[in-house]
Structure 1
Amino acid sequence: MSKKLNAQEFNEQRIDSFQKVKVKSFIKEGKLEEALLLSVDLIDYAKKINYEDAIVFGYVEIASLLCVFGQHLESLRYLNLADKNVSEKNNIKLKLKIYSIYGKNYSSLKLTKKAVSYFDKGIVLSKKMRPESDNFLGSFYVNKADAYLHTKNRLDSSLVYLHKSIDIEKSPFRYAILSNYYLKYNKNIDSASHYLSKCKSLIGENTTISAYQKSIILQAQANLYKAQGDYKNAIDLYRKSLEISYQMKRYKEISISYKFIAESYRFLKEEDKAHDYLLKYTRFNDSINNQYKKNVDSVVTTFLKEQENSYQLGEKRLKTFLYGSVSTSVLALFLIAYYHKKKQRKLVIEKEEIIKKRNKENIELKQKLNSAFEEVVNLAKNNDPAFLARFQEVYPDVCEKILNINPKLVNTELTLCAMIWLNFSSKNIASYTFVQPKTVQMKKYRLRKKLQIPAEVDLYTWIKNL
């Protein structure tokens, strides 16, 4: 917030009101930065009157907002601060929210097993307090379905949990998600159209659709138009969805809309517009969260350090008090030495476990990269229209550096660069794109001129070393 509130005005009741009404109102209106900064202020006021519940609630709210901004590591640090003080017995709803945010962060970081473990904790706890927890339970099923999209058996697993979510509540938003799923992963236009019709039929009866849910529903309709070949109507709805995402600063959805609009223009053979939106997509991904960092990051990071330092100081004071109260007798010294040695042994074991875990995650990361490489190669071999966009996602630096040299390159030239980077020969490229090898050689020659590559420099080596 631009101006600090008067701290003298804040008691427990007023802080509760601001956290549960004002902050929620900001979020509903898409004013996420305002909600974040107000939450920081409210924690400060809660600390001054030792209102522990509001401090913990504020940490969870900040963690949730940081997750939306894509600041997953910072979000996890705030969750750790909150989680120490919340149990399933004393505050079930807040614990459910903590499980949900943990899962979303790990899912975004592609740590699927970790994400699913938290969603499962939430599902088990939600089932204990039904029907009051049905909204939580349905959301956990949706999030678990999304997490499974990063696994090999994503088709069956994700569908199971999406349908479980709809069994709990038949909402327009969840039908839209299901429609999107059938289009993207099952290529089933009939099923997608069926569930989108169900989505539309409920919209008139449902008056609680949030702005974010509306953007996803618009995107689902646009995806169906695109799949049916109605690219103009698809572009119109993508733009409407994009406008909402901009207002709410939903960076992931903004990026997706740019990508889909570029693909739609490419199908319309409007290469200039397709290139413009592909360029926007590339540049947006590079500058994502810049506005957030400028307005909020320094405030939130500084505040986080203060909270962690405060917690560590409290721990240190507690230890000092305990040590000071211990007798100076030989027995006390013996006990201290014993427990210190035991703690050191535990730390060694924990460090070994962390090293093993990191090694395992590195292996998994390498496997994912290999899998992504094979996927990109297969798209190229099949001359799939999605090849260039997928290449951009897996190797974002390549096209960015090329466009920095010459931003006027069109998609066909970027596609050629991508194939060269993948080390395809002229014969391979000709075969995959259904042209003569001489045509490929001519395209390479023109590409050299546009990128100002000297004749004595090997084109493949030059692009690979970007």
Structure 2
Amino acid sequence: MRHYIVTFLLCLPLFFSSQSSKKESDSLNKVIFQLRKDGQLDDALALCKKIIKDRSSALNDKELLSLYIQTGNILCNLSRVKESFDYLELAMEGNQKLQDNEIEARIYGEYGRNYNILGFSQKAIEHFTKSIDLATKIEDQKTKKPLLQYLYSARAVIYEDTNQVDELYSDLHHAYENNPDTYGASRLAKYFTVHRQDLDSAKYYLQKGEQSFSTGKFPIFQKSILLRSYGRYYFAKKDHQKAISYYKESLAISEELKKPKDIKDTEKLLYEAYKAIDDDQKANESLEKYSKISDSLSFENKKIQETPIKHILREKEAEVKEKEKNYIYLVIIILLTVLVVGYYILKRISRSTQDEKQEIISENEAKTQELKLKVNQSFDEVVQLAKNNSPEFWGRFQEVYPDFRDKLLAVNPDLKPSELILSAYIYLGFMTKDIADYTFKAVKTIKNNKYNLRKRLEIPTESDFTIWIRNYLS
């Protein structure tokens, strides 16, 4: 029945006259908000795409760009990163004409979320920082505060994944201060439970989160985060059965919303809780689900690694073009100033200008070519040696990534050669099953080895192994 209602809503705007476009826009935004609030992300996405296809001409520039950004946001929530980048590119191109700070801040924020999903943590932080700087310039407080809350919360996720605890608390505090909600309260409760072991403060924010959610203003997704924080709280109090109950409630919501990363994180927490009560069967079931989703996400992210690389290259190219444009302006001023000196001097300046411009272009092309060669040749060669289980693999890997071994040994100097080689396989993005196939070992053996290696490297339980090792060694 719900799908029939959504289909009706999709078609309803087509019957309205162009004179009522503002009312249409407000009405449709409410429908999209309600769908997202109820966790119906697929339906919200379908509605956004329908409006873009059939009604984009009836929207003003800012409304259309906002719709592109909202579509990119939903796709990011569904872990469809490549499609999300496509819609954000449309928004960025459109804003070159509009030059709206709010639009640009939202675009950079969504870029940051996508980069984080792909494991480009530093790039994500750069985009969030730029986004926050732009958002602080917004004069309308009703727009500014919720946006800053969203951006600080999103950047805090990266600081938590990279174990930057002081920065994590600062961003969580700024987020909650700007616009208190269930999500922000839940994240603060987790911070005080996991990083401070201050259960009284954690309980305070859990209660704040419940109060916020009871208002009915916040999406069901935030309830799943609150339940997970409750689970951590009771796990810390060693009430493991109660923790499991909260984790299961959170997991049910995440499964309904089709949020694989949240499902993965909750299965990891369930594994730890079941281990605490010596329920090995259920612990192994949760670990199996966690590993399966983790491998799947790593595989999907690996397939679209070229997407952020292309975007980074476009950003660099845009920076070069901007420098060239500014340089040309400067040259014009100089030429106008010295025109009276004579044709000879003008000719020399012009020639110098062209030479320097060509040098900039050549340098940029050389850097681009160098990046492509590094990405394509060395990486492909090392991957093939790994697949062949070649005895030359470890030596060649260290040539391509010379700091890899020393950085890992700095974390734990007692790592065995076999653990270093396993780390190399993980760094290259191989899934558990692939590693088992290529090294002629059982899948269960590789899973146990990965789990033991995670403990020896003291990797946080919430962190994805592949993303952690790439961030640490980048």
TM-score range for the pair, normalised by the shorter chain length: 0.5 to 0.7
Compute the displacement of 1:194 (Å): 1.2
Aligned to 2:364: 350
Query: Which one has more relative contact order, counting CA pairs under 8 Å at least 6 apart?
Result: 2
| In 1: Cα distance, 2:273 partner to 2:243 partner | 7
Aligned to 1:93: 102
* Superposed counterparts of 1:72-111, under 5 Å: 72-86=81-95, 91-111=100-120
User: What is the number of residues matched between the two proteins?
Assistant: 364
Aligned to 1:156: 166
Indicate yes or no: 2:398 matched with 1:398.
no
Report which stretch shifted further, 342-351 or 232-241.
Answer: 342-351
Compute the displacement of 1:166 (Å): 2.9
**Which one of 247, 251, 254 corresponds to residue 245 of structure 1?**
254
SS in 2 for 1:120: helix
- Counterpart residue identity of residue 178, structure 1: L
Contact 1:266 1:274 in 2 (8 A): yes
- Counterpart residue identity of residue 236, structure 1: S
Aligned to 1:297: none
Contact 1:46 1:55 in 2 (8 A): no
Report which stretch shifted further, 91-100 or 224-233.
Answer: 91-100
Contact 2:432 2:447 in 1 (8 A): no
Compute the displacement of 1:283 (Å): 2.7
Contact 1:23 1:38 in 2 (8 A): yes
* Superposed counterparts of 1:10-49, under 5 Å: 11=18, 12-13=21-22, 16-17=25-26, 19-47=28-56
Aligned to 2:211: 204
SS in 1 for 2:278: coil
Distance 1:122 1:342, change over 3 A: same
Aligned to 2:328: none
Contact 2:92 2:107 in 1 (8 A): yes
Compute the displacement of 1:272 (Å): 0.9
| In 2: Cα distance, 1:57 partner to 1:173 partner | 23
Aligned to 2:186: 176
| In 2: Cα distance, 1:110 partner to 1:168 partner | 28
Aligned to 1:138: 149
Contact 2:188 2:205 in 1 (8 A): no
Aligned to 1:215: 224
Compute the displacement of 1:151 (Å): 4.3
Contact 2:268 2:287 in 1 (8 A): yes
Contact 1:66 1:72 in 2 (8 A): yes
Indicate yes or no: 2:281 matched with 1:272.
yes
Distance 1:160 1:138, change over 3 A: same
Aligned to 1:307: none
| In 2: Cα distance, 1:84 partner to 1:180 partner | 39
Aligned to 2:466: none
- Counterpart residue identity of residue 364, structure 2: E
Compute the displacement of 1:237 (Å): 0.4
Contact 2:68 2:91 in 1 (8 A): yes
Indicate yes or no: 2:175 matched with 1:165.
yes
Q: Structure 2 regions of 5+ residues with no counterpart?
A: 300-352, 380-397, 417-424, 457-474
Contact 1:176 1:220 in 2 (8 A): yes
- Counterpart residue identity of residue 256, structure 1: D
| In 1: Cα distance, 2:97 partner to 2:135 partner | 11
Q: Structure 1 regions of 5+ residues with no counterpart?
A: 291-338, 382-390, 425-466
Compute the displacement of 1:255 (Å): 1.1
Contact 2:192 2:201 in 1 (8 A): no
Report which stretch shifted further, 240-249 or 349-358.
Answer: 349-358
Offset from partner CA, 1:359-407 (integer Å, 9 cap, x none): 99999x96997699669978999xxxxxxxxx9999772368769xxxx
Compute the displacement of 1:195 (Å): 2.9
- Counterpart residue identity of residue 116, structure 2: S
TM-score (norm 1): 0.63
Aligned to 2:461: none
**Which one of 8, 11, 21 corresponds to residue 5 of structure 1?**
11
Compute the displacement of 1:14 (Å): 6.2
- Counterpart residue identity of residue 203, structure 2: L
- Counterpart residue identity of residue 265, structure 2: I
Distance 1:359 1:198, change over 3 A: farther
Report which stretch shifted further, 236-245 or 391-400.
Answer: 391-400
Report which stretch shifted further, 7-16 or 235-244.
Answer: 7-16
Contact 1:69 1:250 in 2 (8 A): yes
Offset from partner CA, 1:425-464 (integer Å, 9 cap, x none): xxxxxxxxxxxxxxxxxxxxxxxxxxxxxxxxxxxxxxxx
Compute the displacement of 1:285 (Å): 3.6
| In 1: Cα distance, 2:101 partner to 2:89 partner | 17
SS in 2 for 1:177: helix
Distance 1:124 1:7, change over 3 A: closer
